[in-house]
Structure 1
């Protein structure tokens, strides 16, 4: 059984691509004073759609929010003051960055992420992509990505004060409206 000692500060927001999960996460943390936004996906400069998506995300965020662009969230947590709030968008960027890790190294790293997140004293809102609702990947790396992201999200959910599913621009509090299996 996982120790749930810091259950009051972690909020998980998941949903499929373009569901509105980032907007919902921003809304949940909007009233916090000092927010650090950790953007985990690498910028792909030759992909115009990706650049536009990043531009829209930046445009929505308040200008006083601090921005850290990194996939190494465990290291970046060291530089954020205890009283600050954090929005991490998203776990998929973390998983994809460390996809080349073997399972032992990945399990060690993902355990470190969970430890750092659950020990942080401020509010943390984490965005996670919901995957696996459609066609299963036909590549080994696609299956590894799907499995690791799903497992990391599920583990973090056990610590979450709130867990939201966002789909079609609508948010459902699944921590209230569901049962664990």
Structure 2
């Protein structure tokens, strides 16, 4: 039996996954820290997306930005009776594989970040809600870099789903339970 309280929320773009995760965090009746993985907006449209997320969050939630060291952020703020909402793994992976400096992290450093994040989740004492996109439902993308990203996100999503006590996928705003507490 898994003793941790780890909820994984997946979905496509504009599926409602972030709103659903925010509602779960709010319903937990615990203090919430929102970990944002996005880097500073590079264009107006992405800036508007970030602003929309900020406006929707309750003002009393704490915010921690962790575009690279997600494991360190979780470890720093994790506590019993606390809720951490991580939004989202998709942007975190992009930060690791496609940093603004141009060259991605060497694959061994990328895997080290993923392993450290996985360990932080395994050792967590509080409730953690993780959001990620499901992007592997379409055609195999052209280009090696894009295929690497899609493949690595699929692998990362599988790893987090395996650790989770609950996995929900959002489609058209509707939550579909893929894994519920007590059922693998």
TM-score, normalized by the shorter chain, greater than 0.5: yes
Match of 1:112 among 111, 116, 130: 116
Match of 2:32 among 8, 30, 35: 35
8 Å CA contact retained: 1:39, 1:90: yes
SS at match of 2:179: coil
Match of 2:47 among 37, 46, 51: 51
Correspondence list, 1:79-98, <5 A: 79-83=76-80, 84-98=82-96
Distance in 1 (CA, whole Å) between partners of 2:148 and 2:10 is 19
Instruction: Give the drift of 1:48.
Output: 1.8
Larger mean Cα displacement after TM superposition, 133-142 or 109-118: 133-142
Correspondence list, 1:136-151, <5 A: 136-151=140-155
Distance in 2 (CA, whole Å) between partners of 1:25 and 1:42 is 20
Paired position in structure 2 for 1:64: 60
SS at match of 1:19: coil
SS at match of 2:163: coil
Larger mean Cα displacement after TM superposition, 58-67 or 128-137: 128-137
Larger mean Cα displacement after TM superposition, 86-95 or 27-36: 27-36
Distance in 2 (CA, whole Å) between partners of 1:154 and 1:27 is 23
What do you get for the CA RMSD once the two structures are aligned?
Answer: 1.8
8 Å CA contact retained: 1:10, 1:118: no
Paired position in structure 1 for 2:136: 132
Distance in 2 (CA, whole Å) between partners of 1:5 and 1:19 is 28
TM-score (norm 1): 0.88
TM-score (norm 2): 0.87
Q: 1:161 to 1:81 in 2, by over 3 A?
A: closer
Distance in 1 (CA, whole Å) between partners of 2:108 and 2:91 is 19
4+ long deviations beyond 4 Å? none
User: How many equivalent residue pairs?
Assistant: 173
> What CA deviation, in whole Å up to 9, does each residue of 1:131-156 have, x standing for no partner?
12223221222111111111111011
Instruction: Give ranges in structure 1 of 5+ residues lacking alignment.
Output: none
